[in-house]
Structure 1
Amino acid sequence: MPGLTVKDLEKLQVQHPDYRMELVSGEIIVMSPSGYESDEVAAEIIRLLGNWVRPRKLGRVTASNAGFILPNADKDVRAPDASFVRAERLRRTTGDYAQLVPDLMFEVKSKTDSLSKLRQKIQEFLALGTQVGVLVDPRTRTMEVYRPGVEKVVLRDGDVLTVPELLPGWELVVAEVWAPEFD
């Protein structure tokens, strides 16, 4: 069914509300549920980010079900695992897909995800205006941090992610996002 539009995606989403879908180059991509570990890591990132952003009224933090209509030729609808949009760019929330790219986005690799496809997705967002994209891999306990025109930085346990251009003072300790082990 190539050549599909946002309206087609919305109709399919109404017909199949239990499926997560993205619209990429006119094709519907059905997203399978992620593994438990990757979603637990994404939830922790969202919690830590939201706990910093909301009381300071810096913007909006969303999870993987928040769709963004991208400003590309295909009007793709994509949904990063975690996103931040500055308050001045989205003063009021919307019941529709946001028609912008997030300022900061995270993709958390699940067992079935392809690293190359996740990197490609981050690069597409950066090319469209996202300022920082982070690829999180729970298995290797690494974060690849991407910014336009700059070499990626790889963070590991013992490192701290900062995004001073968007969130001055915010720090995300890499080792604190991984799923805990209980004895």
Structure 2
Amino acid sequence: MAAYVLNMPPVARLSDEQFYQICQANRDLRLELTVDGELIIMPPTGGETGKINSDLIADLVVWNRQAKLGIVFDSSTGFKLPNGAKRSPDAAWIPVAKWNNLTTDEKQKFLPLCPDFVIELRSSTDNLVTLQNKMQEYIANGAVLGWLINPQDKQIEIYRLGKEVELLNSPQSISGESILSGFVLNLEPIWS
């Protein structure tokens, strides 16, 4: 099932608090708000996508527990990007210093920052162009590294701050580069 987009403006423009309250009242829904005020309602993922995403998060968490460099977030975490959009990447990471600079109240709600690292995992119903635009939005708002993982085509698009998108076909693994020093994601289970 594809995501639904509710075109709110000019009927209503949700404040940060209103959007937060809508999300709290509808915890079973995955909601995002674009910079243009469109409310995106995303259905739950299927089993295959959920399994892959869980494995991605687990690998990232295990590396992070050993490296102790930052904080890992799952797909239920909301981020308020500098452009005003509210997004929830499938996986995200920020350095520990960014986390420590947030107030207690900021940690309880949508985090008022863009993650340094993001992963978006394309499910069979996701529109590729929509995800590519979302990845560009993360980079434009301060993400340093992002991976768009596309199991259907066995491809990964790597997004880096200040660089062209790199497309890899059927790579066996991918490195977290200097931002996630020592992190290498094995992709073989995703392609099989």
TM-score with structure 1 setting the length? 0.89
Contact 1:4 1:27 in 2 (8 A): no
Corresponding position of 2:185? 172
Q: Does 1:31 align with 2:42?
A: yes
Corresponding position of 1:52? 63
Q: How many residues align?
A: 177
Task: Give the counterpart of 1:145 among 151, 158, 173.
Answer: 158
Query: What amino acid maps onto 1:82 in structure 2?
Result: A
Q: Does 1:132 align with 2:145?
A: yes
Query: What amino acid maps onto 1:22 in structure 2?
Result: E
Task: Provide structure 1 residue ranges, at least 5 long, that are not aligned to the other structure.
Answer: none
Question: In 1, Cα distance between the equivalents of 2:51 and 2:167?
Answer: 21
Question: In 2, Cα distance between the equivalents of 1:51 and 1:179?
Answer: 21
Contact 1:134 1:146 in 2 (8 A): yes
- RMSD, matched Cα: 1.8
Superposition deviation, residue 158 in structure 1: 4.5
Question: In 2, Cα distance between the equivalents of 1:54 and 1:156?
Answer: 30
Q: 1:14 aligns to what SS in structure 2?
A: helix
Corresponding position of 1:105? 118
Contact 1:133 1:147 in 2 (8 A): yes
Q: 2:164 aligns to what SS in structure 1?
A: strand
Q: 1:151 aligns to what SS in structure 2?
A: coil
Question: In 1, Cα distance between the equivalents of 2:173 and 2:143?
Answer: 21
Question: In 2, Cα distance between the equivalents of 1:51 and 1:137?
Answer: 23
Corresponding position of 2:97? 88
Question: Greater CA deviation, 123-132 or 163-172?
Answer: 163-172
Q: 1:99 aligns to what SS in structure 2?
A: coil
Question: In 2, Cα distance between the equivalents of 1:167 and 1:14?
Answer: 32
Contact 1:132 1:147 in 2 (8 A): yes
Question: Greater CA deviation, 100-109 or 6-15?
Answer: 6-15
Q: Aligned residues: percent identity?
A: 33
Contact 1:142 1:155 in 2 (8 A): yes
Q: 2:108 aligns to what SS in structure 1?
A: coil
Q: Does 1:115 align with 2:125?
A: no
Query: What amino acid maps onto 1:126 in structure 2?
Result: I
Query: What amino acid maps onto 2:72 in structure 1?
Result: V
Change (3 A) 1:21 1:158: closer
Change (3 A) 1:158 1:15: closer
TM-score with structure 2 setting the length? 0.85
Superposition deviation, residue 56 in structure 1: 2.3
Question: In 1, Cα distance between the equivalents of 2:181 and 2:168?
Answer: 19
Corresponding position of 1:15? 25
Superposition deviation, residue 179 in structure 1: 7.2
Runs of 4+ in 1 over 6 A off after TM superposition: none
